[in-house]
Amino acid sequence: MKSSKLALTLLAVAVGLIGCGKEEPKKAPVTQAPPPPSIEIKIGHVGPLTGGIAHLGKDNENGARLAIEEANAAKIKIDGKDAKFVLVAEDDQADPKVGTTVAQKLVDAKVAGVVGHLNSGVTKPASLIYNQAGIPMISGSATDVEVTERGLKNVFRTVARDDQQGPAIAKYLAGEAKPKLVALVDDATAYGEGLANEVEKTLKAANVKVLPREKGTDKTTDWKALLTKIKGRKPDAVFYGGMDATGGPLLKQGRELGIKALFAFGDGACDGDKMKELAGDASEGLLCSTAGIPAAAADSKFLDAYKKKYNTDPKIYSPFTYDAANLLIEAMKKANSADPAKYLAELAKIDYKGSTGRIAFDEKGDRKDAEITISVMKSGKLEPVAIVKAGQTIPYGDFVKAAASAASTPVAPATEPAKDKPKAEASKAETKK
């Protein structure tokens, strides 16, 4: 019994000694370095994503989205912070009323800049809302003259104006087709009517007789009554100011009625695939203009990236919205700020090599030295035949050769006439008054 008690006592002592042994030091918790500071920068894009010209709106959005994704991949820093760019895309349905609603929505979302809108008639009222909020906007497709004629310091575009596009297509039409009598039709929008006005002025200046204007709407698809009237006047050419959703049926029905005249269009109806889809074989021989270089002439970096991401080729203006988004980002980088009040001055004086060439803005926000492309539908494909720049018409083949040569030459700084002040300087001058 005593031996059992002794054994238990010894065991307890041993356990106690073990328990009182030196404790292992606790490991310090592993602390992770704090993530680098970051900033989220929202950039809006607006265009018609539903309706008859949704294909153009989506193409424009694709260009802006590609630029945003590339900027994020480049790991850009703004004010010492990792910048995360977010595209906020909205559908304005090509409707001015909807356009102003979504413009205010973007303002409320505190976007730092906007790419859009597509249509001039939507761009103009929407731009007033951005201007009031002090948010820069760049359109890659709005061509109506008044877009940049209202003294708004926040409004820019990467394409030509209709008082450049209209004379270009009209002079080419008059010089190549030599019509004696031309019928003009427009869709009663700011864009369609404005472009037709410029064409009419140029044709009359070239001593080409123009019939009284005919009008439809941006939703007209039955043109037979109007075309029957035109047929009776026997014009040599018909020019339509409007979009392809209405221009395609106009062309198709014109041919069905036996009108032999040459049909010509502006950039709104210069998507070859869509015009072929809507007008069928009647699209053969159509003449049209775009307010910039052809999408296929954009730089290979953009074209390859666009094809890889979307598995299709760009249409008309996605290279220009791609450049527009990149211009906003580049101006932010130069200002080291995403605050519109701080980077607007950099945007106004920027000199940037984009996918569509060198981009600098005049005091109104228009692109300097913008090109116009003239194209003809041949064997079901729209082929560029000429580039018009600074009033000079250049055969497309010569333009391509010159562009290839220029690509290997360093770009010189933009020169500004003494009377032309960048928007930022003009704004300062106004403040001093």
8 Å CB contact between 219 and 48: no
Q: What is the pLDDT of residue 391?
A: 86
Asked if residue 152 and residue 45 are part of one domain, the reply reads yes
3-state SS assignment for residue 185? strand
Asked if residue 177 and residue 152 are part of one domain, the reply reads no
8 falls within a domain: no
Q: What element of type H or E holds 359?
A: strand 357-360
Q: What is the pLDDT of residue 424?
A: 45
Residues near 62 by beta carbon (within 8 Å), at least 6 away in sequence: 306, 309, 310, 314, 318
Neighbouring C-alpha atoms within 13 Å toward the C-beta of 45: 30
78 falls within a domain: yes
8 Å CB contact between 321 and 43: no
Structural domain ending residue among the three candidates 257, 272, 290: 290
Parent domain of 184: 163-290
Asked if residue 193 and residue 152 are part of one domain, the reply reads no
Q: What is the pLDDT of residue 27?
A: 62
- Backbone conformation region of residue 29, classed left if phi is above 0, alpha if psi is from -120 to 50, else beta: beta
Q: What does the pLDDT profile of the chain (433 residues) look like in tens digits?
A: 444 444 434 444 343 434 444 455 566 566 666 677 899 999 999 999 999 999 999 999 999 999 999 999 999 999 999 999 999 999 999 999 999 999 999 999 999 999 999 999 999 999 999 999 999 999 999 999 999 999 999 999 999 999 999 999 999 999 999 999 999 999 999 999 999 999 999 999 999 999 999 999 999 999 999 999 999 999 999 999 999 999 999 999 999 999 999 999 999 999 999 999 999 999 999 999 999 999 999 999 999 999 999 999 999 999 999 999 999 999 999 999 999 999 999 999 999 999 999 999 999 999 999 999 999 999 999 999 999 998 899 999 999 888 777 766 654 444 343 344 444 444 433 333 3
Say how far apart CA 347 and CA 206 lie, in whole Å: 39
Q: What is the pLDDT of residue 405?
A: 77
Q: What is the pLDDT of residue 421?
A: 42
Asked if residue 127 and residue 69 are part of one domain, the reply reads yes
8 Å CB contact between 56 and 11: no
**The two structure tokens encoding residue 212:** 């009284």
**The two structure tokens encoding residue 316:** 């008309």
Number of compact structural domains in the chain? 2
| CATH number of the domain encompassing residue 135 | 3.40.50.2300
Alpha carbon of 12 to those of 4, 7, 32, 75: distances in Å? 12, 9, 44, 65
Neighbouring C-alpha atoms within 13 Å toward the C-beta of 141: 36
Asked if residue 271 and residue 188 are part of one domain, the reply reads yes
The string of DSSP codes covering 319-353 is HHHHHHHHHHHHHHHHHT---HHHHHHHHHT-EEE
| Residue whose structure tokens are 């940037």 | 352
- C-alpha closest to that of 384 among 255, 293, 280, 303: 293
Structural domain ending residue among the three candidates 368, 395, 424: 368
Q: What is the pLDDT of residue 102?
A: 98
